C-alpha cells in the first residue's frame, strides 16, 4: 500500500524506518514516529469507526486524547484485547494489529447502520422512552438488544497477562502538560532548585511546539528551542520527565495520579518491563498546563469521514508528514485555522477555500493566507457535506445580515477542516475542586480561584499567543517554586517571533438553509448527540446542563465532553434563552481519559492481592496433603484427607482419633498479646468479664471480652506468667481488633495504669496436642516441667524446655480432652512439631485441622466468637453467665448487661439441637420455627449456628440460638431444609462429657 497522502519530506517521523501494521486485517505501512491515526491518514484512510448509536461511518477528527471517533481495539494475542484506544494516541510498531469497533461485518458495510434509518427511534432519552412497554418484551427483546448494542468495544476475555507497576513519588512542582507553558514552567521551577516532575500524555514532550513550523523562540525554530529546553531539564538530577504519562486524577491535598504507558509502543517489549505504571504523586505545588481544545463546528453532516479539526490537520501535516486531503475546504470562525491553510498550501495541498463565518476576517493570520494566494470567503458557512464513506464536497452558504443563509453552491474536496475556536482545558482544575468562572470576553469557562496549591498556565487558563504563553509558563513555574523554596529565580523570558494569538470563535449550531427536520448536525460525535437532541431535551423540561447531559448522553464520551460540552451548552443556552453561566457546566471528574484496570490494580492481584500468612508448620501440612481454609489473612489446615477419603470421612476419623488417642493441631494463628506492668492484673480485670486479680502465677483462665454495649467481642485464654506478666490469647481473626480495643482504653481512659501491651502473635509457634495420650506423647520431650496432673493441672502454664527449646507450656483444652498447647519461638516451631508428630504417630495419633477442632468444641458446647455470636450476644445468651464476675465493681460492658433490652425475657439463647432423623445434618443459618409450616410472616424462633456430624455421638448434632431456648429443653421444633422442615429436639448444648472429667484427667 502506498502512502499517497504522505508529504515528500518533513515531520518528526523516521522515513528510514518503515513500520508494517494492519488495520481491520488489511496491511499498511507507516514510519517510526507515526501514530495509528497519522499512518492511516498518510494511507488515505479517514473511515475508522462507526458511531455508537446510529452506526454512522466516522473518521479521525482530532490529533489528541479527545478523539471521539477513532477508537480501536488492539490485541497482542487472543483474549488480550484492549478496547477504546484513541488512534491519535496509539504509536505504531512493527506488527501492530488494530481493529475498528462498532461495526459488523465490516466498516464499509455495517448491518447496524440500519439504526441510522431508524434514527427517529433513538432521539434524546430513547432509553427511557423506547423500552417501556410491553412489559413482557423486556427480558426477551429489549434487554438482549440493548446488551448487544451497548458498550464501546470488546472487553478482553482472558486474564490480563501483562504486569503493572506502582510508584509513589514526591516533588516540589508537578507540571502536567509539556507544551510551551509546561516547558517554561518546568524550566523556571527547575532553575529555582525545585524537585520537578513534568508529564505529558503524548509520546514526545513539546506539545504544540512540535508542529509549529513558523514561530521562532530565542531566534531558534520553536521545535529546536523545545528540544534544548527538554535536554536541559533531562540533565537536571532533580527533574523527572515522563512522556506517555497522563495526569488523570487530581485528588485532595495535591495528590495526583498519573498513568504511564511503558511498553504499549514497543513491538517486542522486554517481559521484565511493566506494561503501565501508576504514579501516585504528592506535589507541593502543581502547574496545570494542559492547553486548549479546538471546538468543532456544528453544521449539518459535520460527521462525515474527512471532516477534521483544522489544528489536527496542521499537526498531522507538520509533525507526521500526513495530509488530511489533497483538496481541502477550511471552515472556520477563528484565525488559527488560517495557519493550517498556510501550512497546507506550503506543502502543496490544494486549499479550495477558507469559509469564514465572520463577515470581514482580518489580522496577521488572515493576511498570511491572503498573501499565499488562498481564496477567503467571509460571512460564509458550511451547510452540509456529501459523500458516503468520505466527504466529496461541501455545501457553502452566505450569511446575510439578517442571519438567514443563501446557498453558494458546492465545493469539491476530500477533506474539510474546521475550527470553532478554542476551549481552555479546565478538566484537571475542575478535578482539583476548583470552580470554573465564565469569562465573557474569552467566551469560555476559565479556572477561578485555586482550592489547592495549583495554578494553571497557558491556554488552559485563557492565555493565547506563544509569547504570552511562555511568559505565563515561566511565571507559573517561578511562583510555584517560590511557594516551596525561597530561592526561586526568575528566568529570562525568551523573545518570540510568530505564534501570534488568533482571534475569533463561535459556539453552538451554525445557521443553514436546509430543512431542519431532515438534517443532523452533531455535537457529541461519540454518543451521536445532535443539536436537535439538545433542543428536544430542553423542550421536554430538562433545563440544567447536568440533566441535559444525562438525558441526551452528551458529554459522556471518553473525553468527558472536552470536545463537545461548549457547543451543547450554547445550544441549550439559546433554547432556554438564558446566558451560558446560568445553564452551568458539568463537572469534570477523574479519570481524565480512560485508565486500564491493570493500572489501578498495579501489583495487587493474585497471591499479592493481600498478604497470605502462613505458619512455620504450613509446609508440613502441605506435604501431608492438607486442605486449607482462609481465616482472616491466614491459611489454616482445614482437614487432612488420606487417599480416597472425603472431607466427611477425614473429619470423622480425625475426631475419633483425638477422642480415643491423640491429635496434633497447628494453633499458631491465635492472636497473642503480652500484657506487662505493675497494673497488668488490674487492667485485665477491667477488660474481661471474669475476675483476674486473684489468678495465681502459673494459672490459666478463659476470659470473655465485651464491648461497652455489653456484647461479646472476643474470647481467649489468659495465662499469668509472672506477677506482672500475662500471656493473653485472642481469636485468629480478632487479634488486631482486640489489641486496638485494649490500647484505646489504656491510652485514653486509663493512662494512669502502669501496664503495656505487645503483640506476640508471631513470636510463638503453637502446637496443640489433644487427647487421652497427649501427656504420654509430649512427656519424653519436655525438660524441667512436672507434667503430672497434681503438679500441672488443667488450666495451668509452665515455662521450661521441649526438645531443648524454651517453651511456655499451656495445659488447656478446646476439645474436651486433656491436652496441651506448646508455645515455642516461631523459628523452632517446625523442629518441635516434627518431634512431637513423631511421638503422636507412634501411638496411632493423627494431625487434625480446623474442621475437626470445630466439631470437637461444638460437642462440648464451646462457642466460637463470630459463629455462635454475631455482635448482639451477651454472655448469658450463650450460657456463660458463670464467666461474669458478679462481685466486680466494673468492667467494660458491665453496665450494659443491666440494660432493659438485655435483661428482658425472650432473648435468643444457645441450645443444642438434635434432628429426629440422626442422618440429617442441618444447614448453618437455617431458621428454627415452632411449626413445620408456619403462617406467612411468622417470625422465626431462631437459627442454627453450628452443625456437624459427630463421630462421638454417631449422629448429627447442631447448636442454635433460639428465643427462650433454655426454657424449651425437650421441646420439638422445626428447622427449614432444602427438602422442607424437619423436626428437631431441643437439648443441652453440651453433647459430650458433660461432667468435664476427661479434660482434667
**Which residues of this protein are in contact with other proteins, per CB under 8 A?**
163, 165-170, 195, 251-253, 255, 270, 272-274, 280, 282, 603-604, 607-608, 610-615, 634, 674, 676-678, 708-709, 740, 743-744, 747-749, 751, 754-764, 806, 825-827, 889-890, 894-896, 898-900
Helical segments of 324-375, H only: 336-346, 364-371
Q: How far is the CB of 601 from other proteins (least distance, A)?
A: 12
Least CB distance to other proteins at residue 736 (A): 9
State the residue for C-alpha cell 504507558: 261
Instruction: Check the CA dihedral 459-465-471-474 and report its sign.
Output: positive
Q: Which residue lies nearer to other proteins by CB, 80 or 166?
A: 166
Closest distance between other proteins and the C-beta of residue 746, in Å?
9
Residues 417 and 374: beta-carbon distance below 8 Å: no
Tell me the closest approach of the beta carbon of residue 425 to other proteins, in angstroms. 25
Looking at beta carbons only, is 279 or 320 nearer to other proteins?
A: 279
- C-beta of 889: minimal distance to other proteins in Å? 7
> Closest by alpha carbon to 497, among 228, 225, 311, 219?
219
Q: What gap in Å lies between CA 30 and CA 14, rounded to an integer? A: 10
3-state SS record for 722-750 = ECCEEEEEECCCCHHHHHHHHHHHHHHHC
Pick between residue 247 and residue 508 the one whose CB is nearest to other proteins.
247
* Residue located via cell numbers 470536545: 563
Give Cα 276 distance to the centre of its chain. Answer: 15
- Between 673 and 926, name the residue whose CB sits nearer to other proteins: 673
Closest CB to other proteins among residues 109, 609: 609
Please count the other Cβ atoms lying within 10 Å of the Cβ belonging to residue 408. Answer: 17
Rounded to an integer, what distance in angstroms lies between the CA atom of residue 507 and that of residue 504? Answer: 11
Alpha carbon separation from 622 to 204, 608, 625, 743 (Å, rounded): 52, 20, 5, 37
Q: C-beta of 732: minimal distance to other proteins in Å?
A: 12
Shortest Cβ 891–other proteins spacing (Å) = 10
Q: Give the C-alpha separation, 110 to 388, whole Å.
A: 13
Nearer to other proteins among residue 799 and residue 923 (C-beta): 799
In the complex, minimum distance from the CB of residue 632 to other proteins, in angstroms, rounded to a whole number: 11
CB of 708 to other proteins, least distance (A): 6
C-alpha cell at 134: 410491553
d(C-alpha 50, C-alpha 36), whole Å: 17
Q: Taking the chain, what is the end-to-end CA distance rounded to the nearest angstrom?
A: 92
Which residue bears the cell 506468667? 721
In the complex with other proteins, the residue whose CB is nearer, 129 or 170, is 170
Cα-based distances in Å from 157 to 163, 275, 551, 619, 981: 17, 18, 32, 35, 44
Identify the bridge partners of residue 247 per DSSP, sorted by sequence position: 258
By beta-carbon proximity to other proteins, the closer residue of 794 and 888 is 888
Task: State which residue, 350 or 749, has the beta carbon closest to other proteins.
Answer: 749
Residue 234 Cβ, how far from other proteins at the closest point, in Å?
17
Q: Give the residues across from 165 on adjacent strands.
A: 277
Q: In the complex with other proteins, which residue's Cβ is closer, 169 or 442? A: 169
Task: Give 149 or 612: the residue with its C-beta nearer to other proteins.
Answer: 612
Q: Which of 200, 585, 581, 198 is nearest to 430 (CA)?
A: 585
Torsion sign over Cα 600, 602, 604, 606: positive
- Say which residue the cell 503422636 belongs to: 840
Q: CA torsion 190→195→201→202, rounded to 10°?
A: 40
Closer CB to other proteins, residue 466 or residue 892? 892
DSSP letter for each residue of 179-219: SHHHHHHHHHHHHTT--EEEE-SSSSTTGGGGG-SS-EETT
Least CB distance to other proteins at residue 255 (A):
5
674 or 923, CB closer to other proteins? 674
Q: Which is nearer to other proteins, 669 or 839 (CB)?
A: 669
Q: How far is the CB of 397 from other proteins (least distance, A)?
A: 53
Residue corresponding to grid cell 453450628: 946
Closest CB to other proteins among residues 744, 917? 744
Smallest distance from other proteins to CB 763, Å: 4
For residue 326, the minimal CB distance to other proteins (Å) is 42
How far does Cα 428 stand from its chain's mean position?
Answer: 19
Work out the burial of residue 495: count CB atoms within 10 Å of its CB; fewer than 13 is exposed, 13-18 middle, 19 or more buried.
exposed
* Overall size of the chain counted in residues: 1001
Smallest distance, other proteins to C-beta of residue 634, A: 8
Amino acid at each position: 500500500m502506498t502512502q499517497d497522502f504522505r508529504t515528500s519530506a518533513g515531520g518528526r517521523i523516521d522515513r528510514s524506518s518503515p513500520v508494517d501494521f494492519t488495520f481491520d486485517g488489511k496491511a499498511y505501512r507507516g514510519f517510526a514516529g507515526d501514530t495509528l491515526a497519522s499512518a492511516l491518514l498518510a494511507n488515505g484512510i479517514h473511515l475508522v469507526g462507526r458511531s455508537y448509536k446510529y452506526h454512522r461511518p466516522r473518521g479521525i477528527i482530532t490529533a489528541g486524547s479527545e478523539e471521539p471517533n477513532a477508537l480501536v481495539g488492539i490485541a497482542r494475542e487472543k483474549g488480550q484485547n484492549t478496547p477504546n484506544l484513541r488512534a491519535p494516541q496509539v504509536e505504531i510498531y512493527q506488527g501492530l494489529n488494530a481493529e475498528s469497533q462498532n461495526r459488523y461485518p465490516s466498516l464499509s458495510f455495517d448491518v447496524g447502520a440500519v439504526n441510522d434509518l431508524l434514527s427517529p427511534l433513538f432521539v434524546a432519552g430513547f432509553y427511557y422512552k423506547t423500552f417501556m412497554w410491553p412489559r413482557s418484551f423486556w427480558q426477551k427483546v429489549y434487554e438482549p438488544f440493548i446488551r448487544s448494542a451497548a458498550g464501546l468495544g470488546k472487553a478482553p476475555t482472558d486474564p490480563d497477562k501483562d504486569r503493572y507497576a506502582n510508584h509513589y513519588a514526591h516533588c516540589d512542582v508537578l507540571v502536567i502538560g509539556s507544551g510551551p507553558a509546561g516547558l517554561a514552567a518546568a524550566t523556571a521551577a527547575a532553575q529555582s532548585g525545585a524537585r520537578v516532575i513534568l508529564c505529558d500524555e503524548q509520546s514526545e514532550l513539546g506539545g504544540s511546539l512540535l508542529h509549529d513550523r513558523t514561530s521562532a523562540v530565542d531566534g531558534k525554530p520553536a521545535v529546536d528551542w523545545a528540544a534544548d529546553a527538554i535536554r536541559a531539564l533531562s540533565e537536571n538530577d532533580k527533574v523527572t520527565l515522563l512522556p506517555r504519562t497522563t495526569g488523570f486524577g487530581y485528588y485532595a491535598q495535591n495528590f495526583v495520579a498519573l498513568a504511564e504507558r511503558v511498553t504499549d509502543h514497543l513491538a517486542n517489549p522486554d517481559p521484565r518491563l511493566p506494561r503501565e505504571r501508576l504514579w501516585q504523586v504528592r506535589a507541593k505545588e502543581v502547574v496545570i498546563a494542559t492547553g486548549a481544545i479546538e471546538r468543532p463546528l456544528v453544521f449539518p453532516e459535520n460527521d462525515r469521514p474527512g471532516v477534521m479539526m483544522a489544528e489536527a490537520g496542521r499537526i498531522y501535516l507538520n509533525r507526521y508528514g500526513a495530509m488530511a486531503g489533497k483538496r481541502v475546504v477550511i471552515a472556520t470562525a477563528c484565525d488559527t485555522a488560517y495557519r493550517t491553510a498556510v501550512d497546507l498550501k506550503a506543502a502543496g495541498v490544494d486549499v479550495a477555500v477558507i469559509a469564514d463565518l465572520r463577515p470581514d476576517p482580518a489580522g496577521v493570520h488572515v493576511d498570511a493566507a491572503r498573501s499565499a494566494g488562498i481564496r477567503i470567503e467571509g460571512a460564509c458557512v458550511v451547510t452540509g457535506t456529501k459523500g458516503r464513506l468520505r466527504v466529496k464536497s461541501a455545501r457553502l452558504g452566505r450569511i446575510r445580515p439578517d442571519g438567514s443563509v443563501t446557498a453558494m453552491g458546492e465545493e469539491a474536496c476530500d477533506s474539510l477542516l474546521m475550527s470553532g475556536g478554542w476551549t481552555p482545558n479546565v478538566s484537571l482544575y475542575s478535578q482539583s475542586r476548583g470552580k470554573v468562572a465564565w469569562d465573557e470576553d474569552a467566551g469560555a469557562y476559565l479556572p477561578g480561584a485555586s482550592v489547592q496549591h495549583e495554578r494553571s498556565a497557558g491556554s488552559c487558563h485563557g492565555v493565547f499567543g506563544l509569547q504570552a504563553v511562555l511568559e505565563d509558563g515561566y511565571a507559573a513555574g517561578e511562583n510555584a517554586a517560590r511557594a516551596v523554596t525561597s530561592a526561586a529565580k526568575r528566568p529570562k523570558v525568551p523573545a518570540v517571533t510568530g505564534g501570534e494569538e488568533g482571534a475569533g470563535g463561535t459556539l453552538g449550531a451554525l445557521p443553514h438553509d436546509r430543512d431542519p427536520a431532515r438534517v443532523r448536525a452533531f455535537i457529541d460525535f461519540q454518543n451521536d448527540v445532535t443539536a436537535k437532541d439538545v433542543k428536544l431535551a430542553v423542550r421536554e423540561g430538562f433545563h440544567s446542563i447536568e440533566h441535559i447531559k444525562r438525558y441526551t448522553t452528551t458529554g459522556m464520551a471518553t473525553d468527558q465532553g472536552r470536545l463537545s460540552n461548549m457547543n451543547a451548552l450554547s445550544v441549550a443556552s439559546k433554547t432556554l434563552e438564558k446566558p451560558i453561566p446560568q445553564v452551568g457546566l458539568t463537572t469534570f471528574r477523574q479519570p481524565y481519559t480512560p485508565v486500564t484496570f491493570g493500572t489501578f490494580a498495579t501489583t495487587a492481584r493474585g497471591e499479592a492481592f493481600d498478604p497470605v500468612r502462613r505458619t512455620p508448620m504450613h509446609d508440613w501440612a502441605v506435604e501431608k496433603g492438607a486442605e486449607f481454609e482462609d481465616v482472616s489473612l491466614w491459611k489454616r489446615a482445614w482437614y487432612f484427607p488420606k487417599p480416597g477419603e472425603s472431607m466427611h470421612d477425614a473429619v470423622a476419623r480425625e475426631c475419633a482419633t483425638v477422642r480415643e488417642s491423640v491429635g496434633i493441631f497447628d494453633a499458631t494463628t491465635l492472636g497473642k498479646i503480652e500484657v506487662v506492668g505493675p497494673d497488668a492484673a488490674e487492667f485485665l480485670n477491667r477488660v474481661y468479664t471474669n475476675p483476674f486479680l486473684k489468678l495465681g502465677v502459673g494459672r490459666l483462665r478463659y476470659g470473655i471480652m465485651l464491648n461497652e454495649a455489653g456484647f461479646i467481642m472476643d474470647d481467649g485464654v489468659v495465662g499469668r506468667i509472672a506477677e506482672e506478666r500475662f500471656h493473653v490469647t485472642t481469636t485468629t481473626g480478632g487479634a488486631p481488633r482486640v489489641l486496638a480495643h485494649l490500647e484505646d482504653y489504656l491510652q485514653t481512659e486509663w493512662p494512669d495504669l502502669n501496664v503495656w501491651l505487645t503483640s506476640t502473635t508471631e513470636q510463638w509457634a503453637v502446637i496443640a496436642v489433644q487427647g487421652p495420650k497427649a501427656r504420654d506423647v509430649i512427656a519424653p520431650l519436655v525438660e524441667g516441667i512436672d507434667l503430672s496432673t497434681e503438679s500441672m493441672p488443667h488450666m495451668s502454664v509452665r515455662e521450661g524446655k521441649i526438645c531443648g527449646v524454651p517453651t511456655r507450656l499451656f495445659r488447656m483444652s478446646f476439645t474436651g480432652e486433656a491436652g496441651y498447647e506448646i508455645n515455642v519461638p516461631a523459628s523452632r516451631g517446625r523442629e518441635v512439631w516434627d518431634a512431637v508428630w513423631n511421638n503422636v504417630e507412634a501411638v496411632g495419633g493423627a494431625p487434625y485441622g480446623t474442621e475437626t477442632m470445630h466439631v470437637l468444641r461444638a460437642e462440648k458446647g464451646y462457642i466460637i466468637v463470630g459463629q455462635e455470636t454475631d455482635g448482639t450476644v451477651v454472655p448469658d445468651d450463650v450460657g456463660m453467665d458463670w464467666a461474669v464476675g458478679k462481685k466486680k465493681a466494673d468492667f467494660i460492658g458491665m453496665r450494659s448487661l443491666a440494660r432493659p433490652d438485655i435483661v428482658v425475657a425472650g432473648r435468643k439463647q444457645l441450645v443444642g439441637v438434635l434432628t429426629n432423623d440422626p442422618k440429617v445434618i442441618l444447614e448453618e443459618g437455617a431458621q428454627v420455627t415452632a411449626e413445620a409450616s408456619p403462617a406467612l410472616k411468622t417470625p422465626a424462633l431462631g437459627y442454627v449456628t453450628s452443625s456437624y456430624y459427630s463421630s462421638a455421638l454417631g449422629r448429627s448434632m447442631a447448636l442454635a440460638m433460639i428465643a427462650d431456648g433454655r426454657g424449651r429443653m425437650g421441646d420439638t421444633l422445626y428447622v427449614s431444609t432444602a427438602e422442607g422442615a424437619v423436626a428437631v429436639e431441643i437439648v443441652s448444648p453440651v453433647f459430650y462429657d458433660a461432667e468435664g472429667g476427661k479434660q482434667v484427667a
